[in-house]
Chain A
Amino acid sequence: MAEAFIELDRVEKVFEVRRRAGFLRRERRQVRAVDSLSFTVARGEMVGYIGPNGAGKSTTVKMLTGILTPSAGRLRVAGIDPSRERTRLAHRMGVVFGQRTTLWWDLPLIDSYRLMHRMYRIPDARYRENLDRLVELLGLGELLDVPVRQLSLGQRMRGDIAAALLHDPEVLYLDEPTIGLDVISRTRVRDFLRQVNAERATTVLLTTHDLQDIEQLCSRVMVIDHGRLVYDGALAGLHEVGESERTLVVDLERELPPIEAPAPARVVRVVGPRQWLAFPASESAAGLVARIAARYPLVDLSVREPDIEAVIAKMLHGTEGTPEPPPDRDASPVPESS
């Protein structure tokens, strides 16, 4: 394996949570958000980091960016201890949150970039070169003079990604970078990320609920649950472990008894003329569709990919359905998107 860029060695984070347990009585409770977490990410790797809400993803990213100090264990990014040298590390990392923007809302996009130029002390020549390149790759040319509030979600997202990359960060933390985007914007963002990773050897840690993001971008996936790493390897392996299933939704001309599908495909739900069939994610849908079309009056159909939650839930609990919600984390002024 190449040079390790991110290193975690038995990292723990324990929060002390106080909660009201009656009038004037408060109860102290320890929440172990991250528990003995160890992994390394090599320079230039692109890794998917997934897990149910409250699993500890955000806590990990906060420790990697230095705004949280680990309770125990050793953590290094580019050889730096993030919590001790947060500002120094900030110059070398980029952060993008799909649901939050770092752009200046009321001003033209270019004004936010000029601010980044100063904030990250980017040398003038490199700033111009990077800006030109990002504007071209992300198609921002027409948008530079448009106030950010007038941008569509997809445009704003591309604007945010450019803002995070102007200072040539060595590592990029992405949190749901394609959430809410249409298919075209999504593809464009993914293509761009792949290119940045390939050309600049930028290390990327991607947190997402969109399985396609991971499928198209990451050769490696880490799954975290209850603060522990429960899977680290290729995405295909995750499917195998989780035995995930896709869903074929068919609309028939009229109400009919459940379709007799070839095993292991099976009908899981019937509502009027609409039927849902589950089949292994590793198999092609074509054969199944052809057989149904040949024997039933088919009006319409669609295929649904398994979502990450379902895959993980199967892997963790060996059952279908959504994972149990995480324990209540006390009222928080900082709503978490993990």
Chain B
Amino acid sequence: MGAWRVYPAVAAGSFRRYATYRAATAAGVFTNTVFGLILVYTYLALWEARPGLGGYDQAQAVTYVWLGQALLAMLAVQGGGFESELMERIRTGEIAVDLYRPVDPQWWWLAHDMGRAVFQLLGRGVVPFLFGALFFPAALPGEAAVWGAFLVSLLLAMLVSFAIRYLFALSVFWLLDSQGVAQAVMVTGVFCSGMTLPLNAFPGGLGEVVRALPWAAQLQVPADVLMGETAAPAAYLFQAAWAVALLAAGRLVQSAATRRVVVQGG
């Protein structure tokens, strides 16, 4: 029996755990739908005034909104994924218990967050997305291959999202303040992922910068893959490069953090 088998078990447990919060899921679906409506009407007005903004037509802009609402919870753009729990464990010192286990912390939390993400995609993503596709103009592909490419891009987006939040969470070892870090996760996530406005529509130098940052790998890149605005191989390369770099950074910080826990003991 392989050591890796614990990680699917962790992911499955995490999925079941989020599935127990039914009221929260229903409330989340409602909120995403309402926010989607507000943003859609705003975008419609904006694209009416500035046709072709960011290279999108109106249908693409609307599809981008519903995609954002559908993926918001899954990618934990505003936080609220595994990292809130990890930061709490670091703050209270419960993290020491985790070190007694024969598992790798990064893999453990990744599995944890994957289980959550899959649940959020199904539980919170599907309904707002279908609602948007039914009642508003949509720019969705017909070929199954494009949808397949989108799912691969989504998986990579998930890895980048995890890696970013893992680094944020580990910073609590030094900053000792989980609330401030949670705020930072939210602000950077919402702005840099393109939750308010597609990154393609960001002007000039600012646009260049945000499109090169890892947050672009979360929503902007999968959206462009789905709507045929970017070629899949280039998109994968961009996402995978950030995923590898950030996960590697996570490992480095993890070993420094582990040493730190160890030093804090009395």
Chain A residues with Cβ below 8 Å from B255 are none
> Is A100 engaged at the interface, CB distance under 8 Å to the other chain?
yes
CB-based contact A119/B102 at 8 Å = yes
Q: Is the CB of A65 within 8 A of B100?
A: yes
Give the CA-CA distance A101 to B96 in the complex, in Å. Answer: 11
Interface residue tally on B, bucketed by range = 20 to 34
Contact of A100 among B9, B91, B97, B103 (CB under 8 A): B97
Contact residue among A90, A97, A333, A338 (Cβ-Cβ distance under 8 Å from B101): A90
Q: Does B173 contact A (CB under 8 A)?
A: yes
Instruction: Verify B9–A115 contact, CB threshold 8 A.
Output: yes
Does B13 make an interface contact (CB < 8 A)? yes
Name the B residues within 8 Å of A285 (CB-CB).
none
Q: Count of chain A residues with Cβ under 8 Å from any Cβ of B?
A: 42
Contact B263 A15 (CB under 8 A): yes
When distances are taken between beta carbons in the complex, the residues of chain A under 8 Å from B17 are: 104, 106-107
* Majority secondary structure of chain A interface residues (helix, strand, loop or mixed): loop
Residues of B within 8 A of A69 (CB): 262
A95 to B94, CA, bound (A): 13
Interface centre among A59, A97, A115 (most CB of B within 10 A): A115
Contacts of A251 in B (CB 8 A): none
Nearest residue (CB) in B for A57 is B266
Known contacts A332-B266, A333-B173, A334-B264: A119-B101 contact under CB 8 Å: yes
- A65 nearest CB neighbor, chain B only: B100
Contact pick for B262, options A68, A107, A333, CB 8 Å: A68
Q: Is B1's CB within 8 Å of the partner chain A?
A: yes
- Shortest CB–CB separation between residue B98 and chain A, in angstroms? 8
Question: In angstroms, how far is the closest chain A Cβ from the Cβ of B109?
Answer: 14
Given known A62-B265, A106-B20, contact A67–B100 (CB-CB < 8 A)? yes
Residue A329, interface by CB 8 Å: yes
A62 to B264, CA, bound (A): 11
Chain B interface secondary structure, helix, strand, loop or mixed? helix
Query: Would you give the 0/1 interface string for B79-93, flagging 1 where the beta carbon is closer than 8 Å to chain A?
Result: 000000000001111
A91/B102 contact (C-beta < 8 A), A67-B261, A107-B16 known: yes
Assess whether B186 is interfacial by the CB under 8 Å rule.
Answer: no
Q: Which of the residues A58, A100, A101, A147 comes within 8 Å of B265, measured between beta carbons? A: A58
**60-97 of chain B: CB within 8 A of chain A:** 90-97
A-B interface pairs (CB < 8 A), number: 94
Contact yes or no, A67 B96, CB < 8 A: yes
Whether the pair B16, A118 counts as a contact (CB closer than 8 A) is no
B10 in contact (CB, < 8 A): yes
A2 vs B51: C-alpha distance when bound (angstroms)? 85
Query: Chain A 45-67 against B: per-residue CB contact (8 Å), 1 yes, 0 no?
Result: 00000000010101100100101
Which residues, 135 to 188 on A, are CB-close (under 8 Å) to B?
147
Residue B176 lies at the interface, judged by CB distance under 8 Å to chain A: yes
Interface residue A33 (Cβ < 8 Å from any Cβ of B): yes
**Quick check: A336 and B13 within 8 Å, CB to CB?**
no
Q: Which of B2, B103, B263 contacts A119 (CB 8 A)?
A: B103
In the assembled complex, the CB of A261 is this many whole angstroms from the nearest CB of chain B, namely 41
A123 within 8 A of B: yes
Q: Does B6 sit within 8 A of A, measured CB to CB?
A: yes
Check B20 against A115 for contact (C-beta < 8 Å). no
- Listed by A's residue number, 12 A-B pairs whose Cβ atoms lie within 8 Å are A15-B263, A67-B258, A67-B262, A104-B17, A107-B17, A111-B13, A119-B6, A121-B3, A332-B266, A333-B93, A334-B264, A335-B93
Starting from the known contacts A56-B266, A62-B265, A90-B100, 19 additional A-B residue pairs (CB-CB under 8 Å) come to A33-B265, A54-B266, A68-B262, A90-B101, A93-B100, A100-B97, A106-B20, A107-B20, A114-B13, A115-B6, A115-B13, A118-B6, A119-B6, A119-B9, A332-B93, A333-B91, A333-B176, A333-B264, A335-B93
A interface residues (Cβ-Cβ under 8 A, vs B): 15, 33, 54, 56, 58-59, 62, 65, 67-69, 87, 90-91, 93, 95, 97, 100-102, 104, 106-107, 111, 114-115, 117-121, 123, 147, 326, 329, 331-336, 338
